[in-house]
Amino acid sequence: MVRFGIVGFGLHAAKRLMPGFRLAKNCRVTALARRNIEQARESARQYDIPLAFPSAAELAGSPQVDAVLVTTPNSLHLRDVLAAIDAGKAVLCEKPLAMNSAEAREMVEAARRKNVLLGVAQIFRFDESVNRFRERVAAGDIGKPLFARCEFSFLADPSHPRKWLYDSSVAGAGPIFDIGVHCVDTLRYVLGDEVERVTATAGSDERSGTVESMAALVLEFSRGTIGMVPISFRADYRTPMEIVGDGGVLWADDALTVERPVEIQLSRRKQVVEHETVSNQLAYALQVDAFAGWMEAGAQFPAPGEEGWQNQEILDAALRSVASGRTQRVARVTLNRGTRAASSGPAGMDIA
């Protein structure tokens, strides 16, 4: 039984993580940390968690904690991940892994030096819907993938609990970082392919502070698939996904939701030829159990820290494209002895 400590116990922990831990088979929460120790103690009482701490470093130093789950705002990820690594604890960090690729690299290299496990919480890799898309694409059910679209929107109004969403010094970016990373990672995972170039555009408004409120990314994959990622803080919740191949189309409305069943349709020549209904209800439990399995038995974890680093290279390229108005190359995190090495290819650059 792996004992987790959650750093940054806020809305996400209460709404998603704790219900997931209740369904998990091989892990439990023994500690939490919040900057305000009184709030930390109150959360611990409310969720029947034995230990409460005011910092990641103190939580990671506890002998009652085997693994640290970092859920603090983006700008604090580096500090909190390094504190856990320094204590010799395995770390699972929320997405996006970092504020930029340099920070992501620093985390991966630190984990390797200390010989501890580092994962990124790309939760949709544990969705049944996403894995069915991945299996069917790999099986050739739609032929060669030509286009792939993953869309994500939700209403982030002024009452949203994460007040820092519109502060670039804390969030890094707007929907490009917050939900765009989900779409980018999901398409990489479903297609089993890597992004080579990114072209992005973004818009802002009077409420978006120092970040964008909406954006669109075009991803050029190495095997020729074109990915499209529209994202927004201004539309109702929606997460449709569609993979268009030369032999068929896979489609699901709200493909990434954990709130209700997802229907996946396979179409050929404009006719639905197959459909199946799946549930993502267990995604959060599967994620922490998989991480526990990585720790205890060396079982493969679908989202090691290197995957978060590769996602960050893509996000960084998207921001450069927004700023320059030009297509940007994506630095590739190279492979080494069966995993991604602690070095990347040449820095991204404009493409004429």
| Mean pLDDT in order along the chain per 10 residues (352 residues) | 97 96 98 97 98 98 98 98 98 98 98 97 98 98 98 88 91 98 98 98 94 98 98 97 98 96 97 97 98 95 97 98 98 61 43 40
How buried is residue 89: exposed, middle or buried, by Cβ count under 10 Å (0-12/13-18/19+)? buried
Q: What is the pLDDT of residue 345?
A: 44
Residue 213: name the closest of 174, 259, 241 by CA: 174
Domain with CATH 3.30.360.10 in the chain: 128-280
Task: List helix spans (H) across the chain.
Answer: 11-12, 18-23, 37-46, 56-60, 77-86, 101-114, 128-138, 168-171, 175-178, 180-191, 283-297, 305-324
Tokens found for residue 325: 């108005």
Q: What is the pLDDT of residue 340?
A: 38
The bridge status of strand 2-7 relative to strand 27-33 is parallel
User: Exposed e or buried b for every residue in 281-295, given b needs 16+ CB within 10 A?
Assistant: bbbbbbbbbbbbbbb
| Sequence-distant (≥ 6) Cβ neighbours of residue 159 within 8 angstroms | none
Q: What is the pLDDT of residue 349?
A: 43
Q: Of all helices (H) and strands (E), which one includes residue 245?
A: strand 241-245
CA distance 139 to 161: 42
Q: What is the pLDDT of residue 157?
A: 82
Question: Does the domain made of 128-280 have the CATH classification 1.10.150.120?
Answer: no
Q: What is the pLDDT of residue 158?
A: 73
Q: What is the pLDDT of residue 160?
A: 79
Domain with CATH 3.40.50.720 in the chain: 2-123+284-302
Say if residues 83 and 106 touch (Cβ distance below 8 Å): no
In angstroms, what CA-CA distances link 61 with 72, 73, 79, 163, 190? Answer: 18, 21, 15, 29, 38
Q: What is the pLDDT of residue 78?
A: 98
Architecture of the domain delimited by 2-123+284-302: 3-Layer(aba) Sandwich (3.40)
Helix axes 128-138, 180-191, angle to 10 degrees: 40
At residue 229, φ and ψ (nearest 5 deg) are: -130, 95
